[in-house]
Structure 1
Amino acid sequence: MNLQEQIAKRRTFGIISHPDAGKTTLTEKLLLFGGAIKTAGAVKSNKIDTHAKSDWMEIEKQRGISVATSVMGFEYKDIKINLLDTPGHQDFAEDTYRTLTAVDSVIMVIDCVKGVEIQTEKLMEVCRMRNTPVICFINKLDREGQDPYDLLDEVEEKLNIKVRPLSWPISMGKTFKGVYNLYEKSLTLFQASRRQVLDEQIQIKDLNDPKLDQLVGKSYADQLREDVELIEGVYPDFDVNDYLEGKVAPVFFGSAVNNFGVRELLDTFIRIAPKPKSRQTEEREVKPEEDKFSGFVFKIHANMDPKHRNRIAFIRVCSGTFERNKPYLHVRNNKPIRFSNATAFMAQDKEILDEAFPGDIVGLYDTGNLKIGDTLTEGEQGTFKGIPSFSPEIFKEVINKDAMKTKQLEKGLNQLMEEGVAQLFTFEVGSRKVVGTVGVLQFEVIQFRLKAEYNASCEFSPMNFYKACWIASKDKKQLDEFVRSKYRHIARDKDGKLVFMAESKAWLQMVQDNYPEIEFHFTSEF
């Protein structure tokens, strides 16, 4: 199979949502339909002994939430699907934002009871920045939720995107009968099975067919006929190009936990979702069909296997063919680097791969050379754009609870910060270490993982900071003078960059006015 054919058969997408909308459950069911797993696990730890495949970290099993992006690859109907299940909780938003740089499209899960929630709106803003194509899956139809028309209006209004339903539910809650596929003109009736695929599609080319009345009952059949007529009258025909340009979101209805509507979603997804797209470097646009390999690191995970203290960098292949054991240029260090252990993932399970193609996500075993945002190429200098660190919102000082384990604590903090779960700032005075995050829950995760993976104990003491600002100046003398005068508020990030820790918005404004020669940046990429 040549490179063009390999690209054509790949779909790389992320699943995003507000917490508890059913995102990880939907991921499980997509894997189930794809044949990647035989039995779907439960996300909440008190329901079923089998945990969700994508929630493999110990803390995820205990809390029933996703705290890290999981990468999973599987084949469905001769299409290679690369699926990234992201954390929904806003405290882990930065991991999700970075992951969205590595995908070509997203599936957004919305709870039919709660509708569009605040985190969904934030995630949609990130998608809109890149015109990422979005498919909506309205979930939990087995519960009494909002009217489907109201939900469609809410999606259009709050997410600022046109919608077009491609499937339609027949009732909901206790009387939920199934889903009619407007795109395929077929009806799917379901038995509730949480762990296996039991659905069967029935072709109904003409809704006036009396067979429909026999299958769902006359009143539900009449309601469906009415709804379909209204939908076809109100919404324009579905245009795939509008979807690919991020102008319209196709909408599917279902219940992931009971396998309702998942196959319709997956079948349509592989037909309409974009194949791997071009990516922009600082110098030029890189097309996937170019012969020479290039890719970028968007995620790092330490200790995926706690027994072997390994560190894995996740790279998105952007062009050409990645080959194991071949040397590639590490652009930031300007040195060749070779990977004998390149892996493909099914969450925590992995297998060695010899080659990968545009759209694929490859795990590279790494001893600390690679960082988030790094570019690897077949010799060309050039860095892929758009993976910055953002200024955190909550700051806490690290207090070591066991002086005998100082080395373990330092190593653990450094490795976890390399993953991008949080940011570490070390003050110039006294070498105090301060962790900055976008959410409180991150501190709990860091504490848990330091103990479980590094046997290091720490506490976090709150610090009153408003922003961490990366500082720079064309005038070195002015920068040195600023660092000297504000030495109590000067720290360095994990890469050694100078950071000014501002205590309040008003004080930051005053300092900026007093030092016009100093540049203050709220992201690390400047």
Structure 2
Amino acid sequence: MSLNMLMPRVGRGVAAALRTPTLRSAFVQPRSTPLTAALMSKRWESAAAAVAQPTPEDSQRLNSLRNIGISAHIDSGKTTVTERILYYTGRIKEIHEVRGKDNVGATMDWMDLEREKGITIQSAATYAQWGGTNLNIIDTPGHVDFTIEVERALRVLDGAVLVLCSVSGVQSQTITVDRQMRRYNVPRISFINKMDRAGANPSRIIDQIRHKLKIPAAALQVPIGSEDAFEGVIDVLANRAVYNRGARGEDIVYGEVPAHMVETVNAAREELIATLAEVDDEIGELFIEEKVPTEQQIRAAVRRATIARKFTPVLMGSAIKDKGVQQLLDAVISYLPNPTEITNTMLDIDNGEKVLEVIPHSNQPFVGLAFKLEEGKYGQLTYIRVYQGRLEKGQFAYHVKTGKKIKIARLVRMHSNSMEDVDSVGAGEICALFGIDCASGDTFTDGTINCSMSTMFVPDSVISLSLTPKDKNAPNFSKALNRFQREDPTFRVHVDSESKQTIISGMGELHLDIYVERMRREYNVDCITGKPQVAFRETATSKSKFAYTHKKQTGGSGQYGRVVGYIEPIDSAQHAELPHEFVNNVVGGNIPTQFLPACEKGYMDGLKEGFMVGHPIVGVRMVLEDGQAHMVDSSELAFRLATFNAFREAFKASGPRILEPVMLVEVSAPVEFQGNVLGSLNKRKGMIVDTETQEDYCVVTSEVPLNNMFGYSTELRSATQGKGEFSMEYKRHSPVLHSVQEELIKEHQAKLAEKK
């Protein structure tokens, strides 16, 4: 057992004593015999098992804690739902709308830009209490350009509410959010919002959840009326009607099931039991035996299946009309897990990154993950999820990546952009710290263990802009870019080596526009942006051999290196994490071992900047088979240059192609404009994937090259009299047409000629 592993279990006083050489050797020496090692292992296991039990107070706190996120496609009503949750739990005294006439705006959309545009840009955290249960809530953006905000929120949450529009249903970003929930194993409740809207059809939305999201779903409620006549819901399990009364729906009134809806409710209950029978063993046995499960048995099965991510219960309401939100809160507490019911893991750095299970109790060594950074008026604000142990004001924490010791001077709980000071937070809680120098995804411990939590998935950027400050002496230009990069891993900045221009890259036009606007407002830096640049890629399409000799003699020792092998294409989609590969098959020492890393570096140099349009190369494997070295003239530089030039020649002979990002575009518009929408997408070389008609609206899904999507919002407004809207997200990189490839190469060569 390592000293680091022993220390958290034996207490801080003994841990301090163990740091002295004499006592440390006394503890370490017995490991020299297998018998004593086995005895210590057994003692360790029994001690760990004893400490793993939480105190009764901590167990009660954890059982009454929920960490949830509100996620959905843009404009499905996430922020409106969150605003009602805060009102009904007593966190706010008044309700304000996202695009309200009072110019106040929703509580969670605290940025001026969010209130002006009526969209959520940054995820915002808050906490509330409902029925004795503490809720940590994160409201996330719906726009795909800010997908990293959803990604990092779901990384640290235990459950989620997936909000769907009663008319639009499952949309493109809904599918993206579903994929993110699956990536981090997050159970979810589905809430069909906007039941008061014309064309509301909850049964169709439930079918979409089952078929488009591929997860069993069934309704726990049946709506009483729809569209303008939507009055409330019927609780299928309790078999009673539920109405919201009062000025803001704060009064819950229960009633009998309307006589004309008894059959509908019975059918919904049977459908719920049949769906649960497929995913839960207990209900399945009762179903086979043709026994009717009790209400408690069904509720327990819904909870088991939801936490196991085999099922999603569906509720419905209208947040804007103050209906159905309290029942959603009840469902969150009844069916979503507490922190002890979710398995989280960490990597033991001292033991070959062995996977360890996190013990979510406050009497364990502290482990926390910094999942979001934000620049506040008091400096950098770091959001932390405490996975294990307790974090107290005044204690020291250790930054695992750098090994730095940090004193926790101030500890706060966040409520949108306001905060409340606290003295300590336990396992499972979300809090924020000030003055911590770290990056998003870094792990902190109390120093007694050396473990790291896994980081989050960060997608590649798809669009770039050149950025030049109007005032070349603007002191805040670099400061703003550095801050934004630390806050947002999808926002990237680099300086073009040839033009010396600052290039910013992100997830879409809106993403970059927001940051340019924030630079103007928050740092008083006005910038001029260049034409958007698409993130093209280059790849090989066929196998190509190389045999290249690098020879240079300039007096004295020269340069000599010979490399032989081939390059071949690989599927970059299947190798998404590492879309290139270097294989060393050299035998017999023809290339000395010390020069092989230099060969790989030469290959990596060739990948950075392609030979057709200067964009990175992906989907290529380089296999080194043979070579030759000179006793005097060979060096690392010689083999690095030899491999670079060999790769260049082989790549040019491999039928190279340019790849462009293809976007999944979803356009919704009134049915009378369907022809105009299809025509506009065809004009932009879009491939129509699906067309769906919903009442008087149509939804067209297509795949369109990103390079052809610039300015589409203006064209769509013109073609649909301002009634159409669209969303798009990155799908994949695909080869461009040969004619387009020739044009891109000519443009690139013309730019190079201008620079000369």
Q: In which range does the TM-score fall when normalised by the shorter chain?
A: 0.7 to 0.9
State the Cα distance separating 1:428 from its structure 2 match: 7.1
Q: Using the alignment, how far apart are the partners of 1:427 and 1:273 within structure 2? A: 46
How do 1:209-224 and structure 2 match up within 5 A? 221-224=258-261
Residue 311, structure 1, aligned to residue 384, structure 2: no
Unaligned runs of 5+ in 1: 208-220, 491-500, 518-526
Q: Is 66-75 or 274-283 further displaced after alignment?
A: 274-283
State the Cα distance separating 1:502 from its structure 2 match: 6.5
Q: Using the alignment, how far apart are the partners of 1:402 and 1:472 within structure 2? A: 44
Q: Is 445-454 or 478-487 further displaced after alignment?
A: 478-487
Q: Using the alignment, how far apart are the partners of 2:121 and 2:407 within structure 1? A: 30
How do 1:78-157 and structure 2 match up within 5 A? 78-157=132-211
State the Cα distance separating 1:246 from its structure 2 match: 0.8
How do 1:419-498 and structure 2 match up within 5 A? 419-420=487-488, 422-427=490-495, 429=497, 432-461=501-530, 462-466=532-536, 476-482=597-603
Q: Using the alignment, how far apart are the partners of 1:502 and 1:390 within structure 2? A: 21
1:254-304 deviation line (CA, Å, top 9, x unaligned): 00011101111111211221001332112311120252211101111123x
Q: Using the alignment, how far apart are the partners of 2:260 and 2:435 within structure 1? A: 58
State the Cα distance separating 1:509 from its structure 2 match: 3.8
State the Cα distance separating 1:113 from its structure 2 match: 1.3
SS at structure 1 position matched to 2:473: helix
How do 1:4-403 and structure 2 match up within 5 A? 4-45=59-100, 47-191=101-245, 193=247, 196-202=248-254, 204=256, 207=257, 221-236=258-273, 237=298, 239=301, 240-276=303-339, 277-283=342-348, 284-289=356-361, 291-303=364-376, 305=377, 308=378, 310-366=379-435, 369-379=437-447, 380-403=449-472
Q: Using the alignment, how far apart are the partners of 2:528 and 2:65 within structure 1? A: 45
Whether contact under 8 Å (2:368, 2:386) holds in the other structure is yes
State the Cα distance separating 1:447 from its structure 2 match: 0.8
Total equivalences in the alignment: 483
State the Cα distance separating 1:338 from its structure 2 match: 1.4
Q: Using the alignment, how far apart are the partners of 1:330 and 1:404 within structure 2? A: 35
Whether contact under 8 Å (1:424, 1:433) holds in the other structure is no
Q: Using the alignment, how far apart are the partners of 1:472 and 1:400 within structure 2? A: 39
Q: Using the alignment, how far apart are the partners of 1:64 and 1:398 within structure 2? A: 26
State the Cα distance separating 1:168 from its structure 2 match: 1.6
Matching residue's letter, 1:447: V
State the Cα distance separating 1:80 from its structure 2 match: 0.9
Q: Using the alignment, how far apart are the partners of 1:318 and 1:467 within structure 2? A: 39
Q: Using the alignment, how far apart are the partners of 1:75 and 1:153 within structure 2? A: 33
Whether contact under 8 Å (1:254, 1:262) holds in the other structure is yes
Matching residue's letter, 1:348: N
Q: Is 137-146 or 418-427 further displaced after alignment?
A: 418-427
Residue 410, structure 1, aligned to residue 475, structure 2: no
1:291-331 deviation line (CA, Å, top 9, x unaligned): 2211101111123x4xx5x2111111101111111101110
SS at structure 2 position matched to 1:258: coil
1:148-169 deviation line (CA, Å, top 9, x unaligned): 2222111111111111211221
Q: Using the alignment, how far apart are the partners of 1:170 and 1:257 within structure 2? A: 17
Whether contact under 8 Å (1:392, 1:423) holds in the other structure is yes
What corresponds to 2:295 in structure 1?
none
State the Cα distance separating 1:433 from its structure 2 match: 2.9
SS at structure 2 position matched to 1:29: helix
Whether contact under 8 Å (1:394, 1:437) holds in the other structure is yes
State the Cα distance separating 1:105 from its structure 2 match: 0.5
Q: Using the alignment, how far apart are the partners of 1:486 and 1:90 within structure 2? A: 29
Q: Using the alignment, how far apart are the partners of 1:482 and 1:428 within structure 2? A: 21
State the Cα distance separating 1:464 from its structure 2 match: 4.1
Whether contact under 8 Å (1:400, 1:459) holds in the other structure is yes
Q: Using the alignment, how far apart are the partners of 2:501 and 2:607 within structure 1? A: 16
* CA pair 185-90 structure 1, distance change in 2 beyond 3 A: same
Whether contact under 8 Å (1:68, 1:87) holds in the other structure is yes
TM-score between the two structures when normalised by the length of structure 1:
0.85
Q: Using the alignment, how far apart are the partners of 2:314 and 2:74 within structure 1? A: 20
* CA pair 191-8 structure 1, distance change in 2 beyond 3 A: closer
Unaligned runs of 5+ in 2: 1-55, 274-297, 349-355, 539-576, 584-595, 624-642, 648-756
What corresponds to 2:6 in structure 1?
none
What corresponds to 1:217 in structure 2?
none
Q: Using the alignment, how far apart are the partners of 2:202 and 2:121 within structure 1? A: 31
State the Cα distance separating 1:484 from its structure 2 match: 5.5
SS at structure 2 position matched to 1:403: coil
* CA pair 177-388 structure 1, distance change in 2 beyond 3 A: closer
Matching residue's letter, 1:241: R
State the Cα distance separating 1:235 from its structure 2 match: 2.3
State the Cα distance separating 1:425 from its structure 2 match: 3.6
Q: Using the alignment, how far apart are the partners of 2:467 and 2:189 within structure 1? A: 42
Q: Using the alignment, how far apart are the partners of 1:391 and 1:483 within structure 2? A: 18
* CA pair 439-428 structure 1, distance change in 2 beyond 3 A: closer
Q: Using the alignment, how far apart are the partners of 1:57 and 1:12 within structure 2? A: 23
Tell me the percent identity.
25
Whether contact under 8 Å (2:145, 2:507) holds in the other structure is yes
What corresponds to 1:508 in structure 2?
618
Q: Using the alignment, how far apart are the partners of 1:483 and 1:78 within structure 2? A: 57
Whether contact under 8 Å (1:392, 1:467) holds in the other structure is no
Q: Using the alignment, how far apart are the partners of 2:236 and 2:607 within structure 1? A: 64
State the Cα distance separating 1:107 from its structure 2 match: 0.1
- Flag the structure with more relative contact order, 1 or 2, with Cα contacts below 8 A and sequence separation at least 6: 1
Matching residue's letter, 2:99: K
Whether contact under 8 Å (1:26, 1:256) holds in the other structure is yes
Q: Using the alignment, how far apart are the partners of 2:482 and 2:333 within structure 1? A: 40
* CA pair 441-326 structure 1, distance change in 2 beyond 3 A: same
State the Cα distance separating 1:232 from its structure 2 match: 1.6
Which structure has the larger Rg? 2
State the Cα distance separating 1:136 from its structure 2 match: 0.6
SS at structure 2 position matched to 1:188: strand
State the Cα distance separating 1:481 from its structure 2 match: 2.8
TM-score between the two structures when normalised by the length of structure 2:
0.60
